[in-house]
Amino acid sequence: MLQQKAVIKNMDHLGLIAGMIDELKIAETIDDEIPSSSKSKNLSYGEATKAMILNGLGYVNKQLYLTPLFFKDKPLKRLFGRDVDFPWFNDDALGRTLDKLFEYGVSELYEKIASRALKILNLTPSTIHLDSTSFHLDGKYPNQKTKEEKEKEKGKVKERNGKEEKGNNSEGKWGKGGKEEEYEPTPVFITQGYSRDHHPELNQVVLNLIVEHKAGIPIWMKPADGNKIDTQAFANIVKEHINSLKNANNTKTKVIADAALFSSKTMEEFKKNNMLFISRVPSKLKQAKEILKNHNEEEFIQLDENYQAIQYTVDYEGMKQQWVLYKSSYAKSRGDKTIKKEYQEKEKQETKLIEKLQKRAFFCEADARKAFEEKTKKLECIMISEAKLISKPKYKTRGRPKPNAKPDHYEYYWIIETKPNEEYLKQKQNQKSGLFILATNDMTLSAKELLDEYKSQQRIERGFRFLKSPEFLSDAMFLKNPKRIEAMLMIMTLSLLVYSALEYRIRSELKNQNKSFPNQLGKPIQNPTARWVFENFFAIHLLLLNGQEQIVGLENKHRLILELLGSNYMGFYGINGERGAE
């Protein structure tokens, strides 16, 4: 009997991802809400979504239209629990799935999935983080706003309320035609707007996220137009979504966000619905300017080696609040450098302005003095140490004038000497550098507790960095159909949910069972990142030989993680039970 050729499939960390997708019932929820209408389709919409999450968290930079290639060498029966073939994961199947997700409503569907996930993970979102980020897109989009359209809409905030509007499908890698249709609901507008990545010239789409505090799980997501202003959007999110979240969980909710949260409309909602908040106070606010400018340095209390604080009780829009002015020595050091750089740049500009003034000829003394007054009153970074107005005779005739010849007129010139205004630099550094104000209506918090809670906003910022990582869904924003871009933002957020849930479960179980996992230096830790665990699972393979299966490459550190996560995860890797032969 001839020996069969060995077949090797790459499992790596994909069993962990597939296990969490199954544990949170993500594919199951999608298939319950959007059942497949055709038996001829090989994949359900839930399975196609699972495939895109696996691809996105595969860390191999495989573009979505190359998904069949990504799955060619994977143990598909183990990952999907049934016989599937890699060509099924083609762009038509994935494109149809994105269309169906959009038609259902990505925010509504995501909220159902996340709500179920929170119950499974036994998490109650009493403290949540709100933020937004933008994703850049290349090229021209069919529903992109023109300059004229944007001008017409100035001053008008259009909320997407489910009413029918016209939008275009698009030609592209995953889109067909160019025919104008009516969609329900309306996809986001791809347009230019405030760029958080400093690329205002590029088109973009905005993603709003609400993240649970304890595990960093995104519990709500909503794509928005590329020019949506955070302050307006946050006020509506608090009104429409966070209050319903508070009622659903029957708990007092605390919202943490950046300065975009701090507005009259939002404060009104917090007061009306008895919600707590923590936010940075916009420095342009009149009361904030007063504190930043006129605070007493002697009132600062040292919190730790880096931070000092002064506490104030403030009445803002009829709400009693605690405002705390913080001074960070680390931020001051950084800020001093930034302010000095800005000062030096402005000093150069003001010096050029004076040089230009000195080269200018005036035909009368009054004009010269008027120009001098206009130019010098704007100076901030340099001071006039000496200024002399001189007159020069001018003659119509060429060459040297005759002795005792009377000039036809006089021209007046300024000779000016300047010096740096170092006092202005010191004043700016003292006023702004390292200073910021946090506000809350939780009057029980100390200055240190308030600062620590605000710093936890980094959870959502880490999530945004994850979504923008070059290894993650590398071509997601090259889609040309706005509907599919919106659905892809949901896939990306689902990937973040799975990643965060895995990290939370691994860290929790390590602490609960008093176990550890080695870090990059081999030192035992209890808080590894999911990314580091994934990297440790690389080079784990499924070997098929003579009808027998064997997992190759498993070490004790892998078994530790799998045992912590439970029998379902162990089954993916052939420990205590098989998920079935390939």
- The per-residue pLDDT for 546 is 81
- Residue 432's pLDDT band (cuts 50, 70, 90): low
Q: State the first-to-last Cα distance of the chain, in angstroms, to the nearest integer.
A: 22
pLDDT at residue 42 is higher than 60: yes
- The per-residue pLDDT for 175 is 43
Q: Does residue 185 have a cis peptide bond before it, meaning omega lies within 30 degrees of 0?
A: yes
- When pLDDT is averaged across residues 300-321 and rounded to a whole number, the result is 94
Angle between helices 45-56 and 14-23 (to 10 degrees): 140
Neighbours of 257 (CB within 10 A): 25
The CA distances from residue 551 to 10, 559, 580, in Å, are 10, 12, 13
- The per-residue pLDDT for 66 is 65
- Residue 487's pLDDT band (cuts 50, 70, 90): very high
Selected residue with higher pLDDT from 557 and 194: 557
Matching residue, tokens 């750089």: 341
pLDDT at residue 64 is higher than 70: no
DSSP 480-500: --HHHHHHHHHHHHHHHHHHH
Determine the 3-state secondary structure of 563 from DSSP. Answer: helix
pTM of the complete model beyond 0.85: no
- The per-residue pLDDT for 165 is 36
Q: What is the pLDDT of residues 169-196, one digit of tens each?
A: 333 334 443 333 443 555 554 454 444 4
Task: Characterize the bridge pairing of strands 548-552 and 541-545.
Answer: antiparallel
Selected residue with higher pLDDT from 137 and 534: 534
pLDDT at residue 260 is higher than 60: yes
Selected residue with higher pLDDT from 365 and 158: 365
- The per-residue pLDDT for 335 is 67
- When pLDDT is averaged across residues 553-557 and rounded to a whole number, the result is 95
- The per-residue pLDDT for 273 is 85
**Joined tokens for residue 320:** 């009693």
- When pLDDT is averaged across residues 557-580 and rounded to a whole number, the result is 87
247 contacts: CB under 8 Å, gap ≥ 6: none
Question: Is there a contact between 540 and 552 (Cβ–Cβ < 8 Å)?
Answer: yes
Judged on CB neighbours under 10 Å (0-12, 13-18, 19+), 10 is middle
Selected residue with higher pLDDT from 212 and 474: 212
Which helix (H) or strand (E) element contains residue 180?
Answer: strand 180-183
Q: What is the pLDDT of residues 2-21, one digit of tens each?
A: 556 888 999 999 999 999 99
Q: Which amino acid is at 513?
A: Q
pLDDT at residue 295 is higher than 60: yes
- The per-residue pLDDT for 470 is 62
Could you give the domains of the chain? Answer: 113-281+316-325+440-478 (3.90.350), 282-315+326-439 (no CATH)
DSSP 256-275: EE-GGG-SHHHHHHHHHTT-
Determine the 3-state secondary structure of 9 from DSSP. Answer: strand
Selected residue with higher pLDDT from 194 and 562: 562
Q: What is the pLDDT of residues 356-386, one digit of tens each?
A: 999 999 989 999 999 999 999 889 999 999 9
The CA distances from residue 285 to 155, 291, 318, 334, in Å, are 21, 10, 16, 23
Most confidently modeled range among 227-236, 482-491, 492-501: 492-501
Q: What is the pLDDT of residues 88-131, one digit of tens each?
A: 999 889 999 999 999 999 999 999 999 999 999 999 888 999 98
Average pLDDT, the chain: 82
pLDDT at residue 213 is higher than 60: yes
- Residue 148's pLDDT band (cuts 50, 70, 90): very low
Question: Is there a contact between 461 and 131 (Cβ–Cβ < 8 Å)?
Answer: yes
Cα-Cα-Cα-Cα torsion 33, 35, 37, 39, nearest 10 degrees, comes to 170
The CA radius of gyration of the chain, in Å to the nearest whole number, is: 31
- The per-residue pLDDT for 250 is 58
Q: What is the pLDDT of residues 69-78, one digit of tens each?
A: 889 999 999 9
Strand order of the β-sheet with 548-552 is 7-10, 541-545, 548-552
Question: Is there a contact between 389 and 368 (Cβ–Cβ < 8 Å)?
Answer: yes
Question: Is there a contact between 499 and 459 (Cβ–Cβ < 8 Å)?
Answer: no
Determine the 3-state secondary structure of 178 from DSSP. Answer: coil
The CA distances from residue 535 to 12, 128, 371, in Å, are 8, 30, 67
Q: What is the rounded CA–CA span in Å between residue 53 and residue 70?
A: 12
Question: Is there a contact between 454 and 278 (Cβ–Cβ < 8 Å)?
Answer: yes
Please report, rounded to a whole number, the percentage of residues in the chain having pLDDT higher than 90.
Answer: 51
- When pLDDT is averaged across residues 465-480 and rounded to a whole number, the result is 63
- The per-residue pLDDT for 226 is 61
Q: What is the pLDDT of residues 518-544, one digit of tens each?
A: 999 999 999 999 999 999 999 999 998
Among 133-137, 407-411, 540-544, the minimum mean pLDDT is found in 133-137
